[in-house]
Structure 1
Amino acid sequence: MVLKYNFSVYRKYVPIWVVFFLIVTNTFNFAQEYNIVPMLKKIESGGVEEVRTEVKSLLNNYPNDPSIQFVDAITTENAEQAVSKYISIFQKSPQSKYADAALFRAYSFYYAAGSYRKAQEYLFKLQKDYPSSPYLKSAERNIPLVEDNEANLSSDKPEPKTELTRSSATNYNFLIQAGAFTNFSNAISLKNDLEDTGLSVEINEKTVGGTLFYVVLAGKFEDKNSALKASDKINIEFRLDSKVIPITK
């Protein structure tokens, strides 16, 4: 299952070039980097494909420029590949203008995916290495103090009736978080695939740092072992990294 970025989501919450422009014009003495503000503005106005083509050419001429690498990550549709690129930026070029932005995006992805320990690691790094970063105001500080496989991203919305509901008295305690996407069509695609296996599936929205994620939640189980078995099965069948999480009562 390929994760894709939904670029319209970024435009919905905050113009990405505005915050980045503030970073570009700060008073720190960064090494000279390519001016990517025009490309960020193009992305803001919907010219993602044009920028993607432009970035490919620029990477051939400036393969080690972290600013260009940052735009490359932004325009990468596969979310997991994009996160790897963001991580590479702040690890290899920590003094880049966009290192904190890359770090924040990596944090946001792992938070939405329910990998809270990893998200917390990146949040602490953002606080420690970039204490003046404007992204700190957007970061979710109240990270749940639970293990990753117990993280709950389900909403408080009433549970829809499904084929798995045997009676109103059934005591369901666990469900499967199958994935978190920034592209709604990808979430729908996974939902349809999982429903074909007989699981009940719902999609909940979760906003992290201004980025909207669509969280796919599958099944309802009375005990954790049953949930883990179902999780292992869909992980193998669909090459996922799903997690079992408790249902909020």
Structure 2
Amino acid sequence: MGKLIKIILLVLFVGFYVHSQNIDQEVAKYVRMIESGELERASEESRELISSNPNHPGILYLQGRLSTDGIEALKFYQAVVDNFPKSEWADDALYKIYQYYYAVGLYRTADLKWKHLQKEYPQSPYLRSQLSKDAKSMPDEVSETNKIDTTKSQTTIKLIEQPVPTEPPPKLTDVKQPEMPTSQNYVYTVQVGAFSTIENAKKQEKYFIDLGYEVEVTNKIRAGKSLYLVWVGNFRSAEEANKFKDEIKQKFKIESITVQKY
């Protein structure tokens, strides 16, 4: 009888493991859809999977990726990190938390999340990503004392409170110009600044408008602070946004970050 019970338990365990693996594969498929700009399709096709497995770490991560609200997405990612730290989605979720705080200008918090990622998931591919360079040179939090000084000539635009050159560089000619969104399929943008004052954000906005780009200044309240984020372009996929980000950095040494709109 004892041997029979062991066999039954083994079969149940194997079945659960296989089922979990299948869910992970499905989640990975939908994440690829989202990153290629097919957010609506991923949302529609994943509904049954999500409703059937609401507490699976991959499903929680997927719901974060599908969310268009930053705070809501953050809750899903944190649930993965807190409750399933050994799952294959834990480093993905923690990286997204880091990216969120970095995008809204809360750099000290972002730095803590990055160090957490380094400590708990040293083999994570995100540690070798482009944003690892951003983490190494994490700026201070946004503050009113860090004003833009337009009297100084700078060749590099930093992510936050950067001086705006008086003479704009020539326009990009070999990169597709960012488009204005016609539907919610445009979910990615390139953030070129996070400012504590609307005046500084407007200066940064004007710099990119003068270059011929579509620019949006959006206000977010985070941790009691009012931040003005400067977004350039609208893209269907993270790949398109990353290409634009990499091109402007290579040509003009402009630091920026790809973010998902929320």
TM-score (norm 1): 0.51
Identical columns (%): 26
**CA distance in 2: counterparts of 1:31 and 1:124, whole angstroms:** 33
Shift of 1:115: 0.7
Aligned residues: 161
Unpaired segments ≥5 residues, structure 1 = 1-28, 161-181, 188-193, 206-213, 219-233, 245-249
Unpaired segments ≥5 residues, structure 2 = 1-16, 147-158, 168-186, 193-197, 208-214, 229-262
Shift of 1:102: 1.0
Q: What's the secondary structure of 2:205's corresponding residue?
A: strand
- 1:38 and 2:29 equivalent? yes
Tell me which amino acid in the other structure corresponds to 2:135.
R
**CA distance in 2: counterparts of 1:82 and 1:122, whole angstroms:** 16
Going from structure 1 to structure 2, the CA distance change for 1:91 and 1:77 (only over 3 Å counts) comes to same
- In the other structure, the counterpart of 1:116 is 107
Q: What's the secondary structure of 1:46's corresponding residue?
A: coil
Q: What's the secondary structure of 2:54's corresponding residue?
A: coil
Q: Bigger radius of gyration, 1 or 2?
A: 2
Tell me which amino acid in the other structure corresponds to 1:242.
S
- In the other structure, the counterpart of 2:51 is 60
Shift of 1:72: 1.4
- 1:241 and 2:225 equivalent? yes
Q: Calculate the aligned-residue CA RMSD, in Å.
A: 4.2
Q: What's the secondary structure of 2:62's corresponding residue?
A: helix
**CA distance in 1: counterparts of 2:59 and 2:115, whole angstroms:** 26
- In the other structure, the counterpart of 1:98 is 89
- In the other structure, the counterpart of 1:154 is 161
Residue by residue over 1:19-44, the C-alpha shift from the partner in whole angstroms, topping out at 9 and shown as x without a partner, is: xxxxxxxxxx9993412222233334
**CA distance in 1: counterparts of 2:95 and 2:86, whole angstroms:** 15
**CA distance in 1: counterparts of 2:34 and 2:217, whole angstroms:** 27
Any conservation in 1 of the 2:98–2:113 contact (CA below 8 Å)?
yes
Equivalent positions of 1:169-180 (< 5 A) are: none
Shift of 1:106: 0.9
- 1:127 and 2:118 equivalent? yes
**CA distance in 1: counterparts of 2:33 and 2:224, whole angstroms:** 33
- In the other structure, the counterpart of 1:86 is 77
Going from structure 1 to structure 2, the CA distance change for 1:57 and 1:201 (only over 3 Å counts) comes to farther
Shift of 1:68: 1.6
- In the other structure, the counterpart of 1:166 is none
Tell me which amino acid in the other structure corresponds to 1:153.
I
Q: 1:142 aligns with which of 136, 142, 145?
A: 136
**CA distance in 2: counterparts of 1:121 and 1:92, whole angstroms:** 19
Equivalent positions of 1:226-237 (< 5 A) are: none
**CA distance in 1: counterparts of 2:190 and 2:79, whole angstroms:** 28
Going from structure 1 to structure 2, the CA distance change for 1:117 and 1:240 (only over 3 Å counts) comes to closer
Any conservation in 2 of the 1:107–1:119 contact (CA below 8 Å)?
yes
**CA distance in 1: counterparts of 2:227 and 2:29, whole angstroms:** 40
Any conservation in 1 of the 2:61–2:77 contact (CA below 8 Å)?
yes
Residue by residue over 1:74-122, the C-alpha shift from the partner in whole angstroms, topping out at 9 and shown as x without a partner, is: 1111122212211221111111111101111111111122111110110
- In the other structure, the counterpart of 1:24 is none
- In the other structure, the counterpart of 2:151 is none
Any conservation in 2 of the 1:86–1:103 contact (CA below 8 Å)?
yes
TM-score (norm 2): 0.49
**CA distance in 2: counterparts of 1:204 and 1:184, whole angstroms:** 17
Residue by residue over 1:51-91, the C-alpha shift from the partner in whole angstroms, topping out at 9 and shown as x without a partner, is: 11233322221011111221211111112221221122111
